[in-house]
Structure 1
Amino acid sequence: MKKTTIIDVAKSAGVSIGTVSKVLNNKDYVSVEVKKKVQDTIERLNYQVNANARSLKALKTNKIGVIVSDISNIYMMSLAKVIEDRVRSMNYHMLIMSHNEDVTTEREVLQLILEQRVDALILVPTGGNVDMIQSVINNKIPVVIVDRKVEGITSDIIVDDNYYGSYEAVSYLHSLGHTRIGVIHGTENISIGKERLEGALAAIDKLECSKDKSLIVAGKFKAEEAYKATIELLLLPERPTAIYCCNNRMTVGMLKAIQEQGLKIPEEISIITFGDSTQWELVQPPLTLITQSLLRIGVEAAAILKNRLTMTESFEPKQIVIRPELLIRGSCSKPQQ
């Protein structure tokens, strides 16, 4: 059974989280009518007060919560390390958790992080729990969303220009002479999955590339799914001469499939991926890729939080879109004649 949170109480009672906190801590004025409504809701929902979370914003704790999608993803851990370095320079401590792309888990870890009374939150979202995230923002806890966009949330956000990056990836392969290009894309209900697929399809549509729908396969941002998708591409009657893989986690599965099929890179098939450059430097040949700037994301996130935490006057949410770059290495060549 899902644990009732202070946010659930506030929503059910039709009041703010701050009002519930005032009732729980018996601080500041709350009308008798509102106080009774909150107390009745607490009893009805059987809300158990966490001693460590009697107020979401009572005291400064010098803690910043970080929630990522998957702690086994090297990109996410590299991003967390950059953020940690910046947070520590601000004399804050970082608390990190992951939701594994599950909306229910995200809600649970959000509550756990908030119970630590964090001063701010950096979040790689699932795309769900909009009401809960917006409630946190409304309660004056700064939230910086990174990597993905979420409709319905008014927050600072730092994302890559995913559409542009994908368009560049396919365009580069086309410039080498590839016209039959496979695309392994992620989950489309997440903004990066949708935008990267749209960018790739736009390039295919504009350039003289094959529009064979069997060349576009879903990897769902998982290595095992990308492995299956790559095998599917390589066993086509006319296989692609190049493959663009839309994230680093799926690239692991793609490389495994290519290796098992005994194909040489780039002599027999060219590949390009979207992700962090450091992960693929030791692969032979080193992978050509659309890069993501971990350092800039970390610097921008820390700078926004520093301003949010120290400035007395509020300012409009910032949206920073970082244009990725094409890093040409050894995994792409002209197609065989």
Structure 2
Amino acid sequence: MTETKSRLWFTISCAALFMLVLNYQPIHQYIDVIKKQKAVTADGRVDERERLRGMIEEWKEGKEEMPIDAFFDKSWKAAIPGYNGRIVDVEASVNKMIATGAVNPDSMVYKEIPPAVSLEQLGTLPIYRGNPNKPAISFMINVAWGNEYLDSMLDTLDKHGVKTTFFLDGSWVKRYPEEAKKIAARGHEIGNHAYSHPDMKTLGVQRIQQEISRTQEVIEKTIGVKPTLFAPPSGSFNQRVVQIAQSPFQMKTILWTADTVDWQKPSSSWVVRKISRLMGNGVLVLMHPTAASEASLDQLLMIAKQKGLVATTVSEVISSNRLNK
């Protein structure tokens, strides 16, 4: 009987002591102890890989993100791209840290997780912006005139190390093949801007196909690339235009989020004030090779950088891929 009582009091005392300690020590400290014990082998040696795993499990907290699905924007009747999530690849991180000797949170290796709903799954829709969570912006340039400002704009883009998207009018490429080659040679993405700058939504099927196909042909013959993006002149389109661009030409129809309205010849300061207010994640800025855009481009690129935005091509902005800053 005495032995039973002694065992009972011992159990109660241990439980009381555990509760007392628990009230003063955060639970994660006990978890840390367990992790450290796991990193020690039976003969007392430290298991380096297990030790690193434990550290990475702590460091990755708050750094992983869930993917965001592409969705249909009812107000714009357009598709909004998704955005990949990311998780820490623990084993790849361990391997990297052992190989490089750099053991810190910055050495963690991430793996992208695509969204469950992709842009393609939404169907044939126009696109006017990238995902609102992606810190990217594109100053896309539609070219059908304004050769006198091209060199300066190209130099400004080079100065900032920026590659953007030029949507080229087919008849312009036909008239100025060397100018078109110059744009491509500077590493910029080339898009299709129809052949004769028509009001696309008023055209029949055959004429729509002709406008797109003639431009594809002249760009491919002149530059050697086949555009995958189509920007309807003046933003004029209907569902027939979007459908034809998609099939048979496998091109996405691109609109814009912010318009410089540079063809109205505003001052460069007016353009900067207007566009800087509209800058944000996933924004597509419409420009042309005009005096106003040429004079404002340098400042707009600086403002974008100050806002933490990466200026890049339209294809990159509307991609679900995460930015590799």
* Max Rg structure: 2
The higher relative CO (CA closer than 8 Å, separation ≥ 6) is in: 2
Query: What TM-score bracket applies, with the shorter chain setting the length?
Result: under 0.3
- State the TM-score, normalizing by the size of structure 1: 0.23
- State the TM-score, normalizing by the size of structure 2: 0.24
